[in-house]
Structure 1
Amino acid sequence: MHSTIYGEISFEEMYLLIRAYLSQDRNGEYRVSIGTDSQNFDYTKMPITIGIHRIENQIGKGGIFFSEIRRVKKISNIRQKIFYETNLSLDLALRLNLKFIEDNIPNKIAIHVDAGYNGPTAMYIAEITGWVKACGFQCVIKPDSYMASSVANRLSK
């Protein structure tokens, strides 16, 4: 994983930073969001992003952010690409959620998918949201899926 503040770190180091951040205010509200986007070159570039945002009175009060960029064989099929993106987000969410459970940290993880009703991904929304919810996570789609459609999108360029 990568952090603009901490540089290159392992998953375990990232988790310790997240745990420390979440423990700053035990009564505070935090949002944990994970999203992936992709961009085709002669390969497919896939940034996986995770953001932890502190919320106070429904207003953002800062956060921390991590990312990992994967390069895979070029994926041209839109259905395959959106499912691959979602799978990467789910994999990270499942790993993180296991650590939360081990440490008794109550938190709900939201998966932000780069799919919306305006565009070629609209026909996959029911499948994707059903899959994400069946895995036990909240599913957020465009235009609200900022971790995928804004943060990861910026890193995919």
Structure 2
Amino acid sequence: MNNGFDFTDTFQNLSHKNMSFDEVFQNIKQFIMKDPTGSFKLMFGTDSQVYSRETIFITGIVIQQERKGVWACFRRVVIPRRMTNLHERISYETTLTEEIVSLFTDEKREQLINIILPNIYKGANFAVEGHIDIGSGKKNKTRIFVQEMISRMNSLGLKAKIKPDSFVASSYANRFTKHG
């Protein structure tokens, strides 16, 4: 059911287009297997941009090895209307992040953790974060939604990050929301 939305189940990055989720997962696994003694963060986040006839949502998936680099990709969703209600848009960003996170089933997360498990005593580490493009500063219009969105991320077992620490949403995904 796609309700006229330009909704894609494929992911892309600067070097690969039309990746299936399975290809994304394999890339993440291979990234971790290159150095299973590393400290890794698997991070998710969505940003949006409202245009005259549509709203573009980009959900980023980033696997980072501390001080060693990243592998990242994103999924693009276009809603064919101006989504100007801030709560609706922030909530939908969070929903799209939740949707991608749900693809990482317990079994898939276990596969990733099992790669580094033998190296825990050598400093290996694996964390999962949900990045939300909102801030709690007094001037930030999104501050009233912070608790609600953090609760949603935490309920998925993710460590929630907001601005200025939510770079997957506020920086990586944001770059790809711009018409190019």
- Per-residue deviation at 1:91? 1.3
Instruction: Report the CA distance between 1:99 and its aligned residue.
Output: 4.7
Report the counterpart of residue 128 of structure 2 in structure 1.
Answer: 109
**TM-score normalised by L of structure 1:** 0.90
Q: CA RMSD in A?
A: 1.5
1:132 matched to 2:153? The reply is: yes
Q: Which moved more, 1:143-152 or 1:73-82?
A: 73-82
Aligned-partner Cα distance in 1 for 2:107–2:28: 11
SS of the aligned residue for 2:172 comes to: helix
Which residue of structure 1 lines up, in the alignment, with residue 26 of structure 2?
A: 16
Cα distance in 1 between the residues matched to 2:107 and 2:172 = 24
Identity %: 27
Structure 1 residue corresponding to 2:40, chosen from 30, 34, 42: 30
Q: Which amino acid in the other structure matches residue 147 of structure 2?
A: A
Question: In the aligned structure 1, how far is the partner of 2:107 from the partner of 2:76?
Answer: 22
- For residue 75 of structure 1, the aligned residue among 65, 70, 83 is 83
2:83 aligns to what SS in structure 1?
coil
Unaligned runs of 5+ in 1: none
What SS does the corresponding residue of 1:48 show, helix, strand or coil?
strand
Runs of 4+ in 1 over 3 A off after TM superposition: none
Whichever of the two has the greater Rg, that structure is: 2
CA contact (8 A) 2:45 2:173 kept: yes
- Structure 1 residue 61 corresponds to structure 2 residue 68: yes
Letter paired with 2:73:
F
TM-score (norm 2): 0.79
Equivalent residue number for residue 163 of structure 2: 142
Amino acid at match of 2:134: A
- Does 1:153 pair with 2:174? yes
Which residue matches 2:4? none
Letter of the 1:115 partner, please give it: I
Structure-1 residue corresponding to 2:98: 90
Q: How many residues align?
A: 153
Q: Does residue 49 of the first structure (1) align with residue 60 of the second (2)?
A: yes
3-state SS, counterpart of residue 5 of structure 1:
coil
